[in-house]
Amino acid sequence: MSRSADTILRPSAEVAAALAEGTPVVALESTIISHGLPQPRNLEVAGELEEIVREAGAVPATIAVLDGVARIGLDEEGLRRVAAEPGLRKLGQRDLPLAAALGASGATTVSATSFLAARAGIRVFATGGLGGVHRGWTEDQDESADLDALSRTRITVVCAGVKSILDVPATLQRLETRGVTVAGYRTDFFPGFYLHTSGEPVDWRIESPAEAAAVMRAQDALGGTETALIVANPVPVEQQLDPALHDRVLAEALQAASAAGVSGQAITPFLLDYLVKGTEGASLEANLAAVRGNTRLAARIAAAWSTAR
C-alpha cells in the first residue's frame, strides 16, 4: 500500500502551529544526539540546544525518523529514543525512502535534515559542521552527500564550516561549482570547525541576522536553482581547540587510519573519535561551543526572516 506525505512526514503540533502562524522555526539535526555524544550527555545537549532556540523566541524542530515517520519536532519521548535506542541508523537523504517503506528508525544527517526541513516549510537549520570533500579525493572520490543536497535545497544552514578532517579548499571549490551561496558571519575566512579559522578566505561576509534574511529574500526574488545559503559562523577564539594540538592529533589520526586501512564511510567517525581521545575531550567541547553558537545565531536569523516576511 502506498503512503502519502501526510503519513511519512509529520510535524509536531507545536511546529505545525508555528509554521502556520509565521513564528520563526529552527531545524536541528539528530545525529549529534545519537552518534556524536556519549550518554547521558547527548540527551542533555539535545534539550540545551532546543532551549537556546526558545530563548531567542523561535520554535525548535529537532528532526529524526521514528518507525518510518519523519518527525519534524520531537517530544521528550522522541528525544529519549534518539539518545538511547541501540542500533539507531544514521540516515542521509538517500536513505529516507527505505526508512519510510520499511518502518525503520534513524537519526538524520545534514543532507536528510536539510531535505526534510525544507519539505516541511522550515527555512533555517543549525548544525555543527558540514560534510565535504575528503582528503585523497583524487584516489577514492569520497565526498559527502551534504554538498549535493545543499546544491538543490533552499535552506539556510548555520554552521562552523566543514569538519576539519576534510579537504577544506576542495570543499569550497565544490560548493562554488554547485552554486551554493557561502557567507562568513563577521569573518573574512571560512571557519575550521574546531578552529576559529581554516585559513581559507570567503568572498562575502555578513554582519547581522537581518543581512542573512535579506540574502534569503534575494534568493527567492531571483529564482533559479533552489540552492542553499551557508552562513559560516566561527567558534570564538577563546573556545576553539588549541590549533597546535589539533594539527598534531589530526596528523596522528590520519596516519592511524591509513595503517588500519580505514576508508569510505568509516573514515569520518574513526577520525573524529581519534580526535576526541587524542585531545582528551577538548575537541568535543570545541564542537559543542560551535553548535551552541550556531544554534543561537540560527534562531536570530529565523526571527529576522519571519519579521521580514
- What is the CATH number for 211? 3.40.1790.10
Residue 65 sits in which domain range?
1-122
**Predicted confidence (pLDDT) at residue 205 exceeds the cutoff of 80:** yes
Q: Which of 21, 139, 163, 277 is catalytic?
A: 163
**Predicted confidence (pLDDT) at residue 88 exceeds the cutoff of 70:** yes
The pLDDT, as a whole number, for residue 1 is 44
The pLDDT, as a whole number, for residue 274 is 93
Res. 243 pLDDT band, cuts 50 70 90:
very high
Is 90 labeled as catalytic in the residue annotation?
A: no
Residues 147 and 278 occupy one common structural domain:
yes
Q: Which of 14, 21, 29, 143 is catalytic?
A: 29
CA angle 29, 105, 49 (to 5 degrees): 25
Residues 166 and 294 occupy one common structural domain:
yes
Distances (CA, A) of 108 to 77, 115, 228, 283: 17, 10, 18, 22
For the stretch 214-224, pLDDT in tens is 999 999 999 98
In a domain, 18, yes or no: yes
Query: Given phi > 0 = left and psi -120 to 50 = alpha, else beta, which region is 155?
Result: beta
Is 76 labeled as catalytic in the residue annotation?
A: no
Residues 81 and 191 occupy one common structural domain:
no
Residues 155 and 246 occupy one common structural domain:
yes
In a domain, 286, yes or no: yes
Residues 63 and 209 occupy one common structural domain:
no
Residues 164 and 78 occupy one common structural domain:
no
In a domain, 133, yes or no: no
Residues 91 and 56 occupy one common structural domain:
yes
Residues 6 or more apart from 62 whose CB is under 8 A from it?
27, 28, 29, 30, 33, 46, 49, 50, 73, 74, 78, 79, 82
For the stretch 159-192, pLDDT in tens is 999 988 888 999 999 999 999 999 999 999 999 9
Q: How many domains does the chain have?
A: 2
Residues 299 and 200 occupy one common structural domain:
yes
**Predicted confidence (pLDDT) at residue 116 exceeds the cutoff of 70:** yes
* SS3 assignment, position 117: helix
In a domain, 23, yes or no: yes
The pLDDT, as a whole number, for residue 285 is 95
Average pLDDT rounded to a whole number, residues 19-33? 96
CB 14 within 8 A of CB 73: yes
Residues 115 and 54 occupy one common structural domain:
yes
For the stretch 91-100, pLDDT in tens is 999 999 999 9
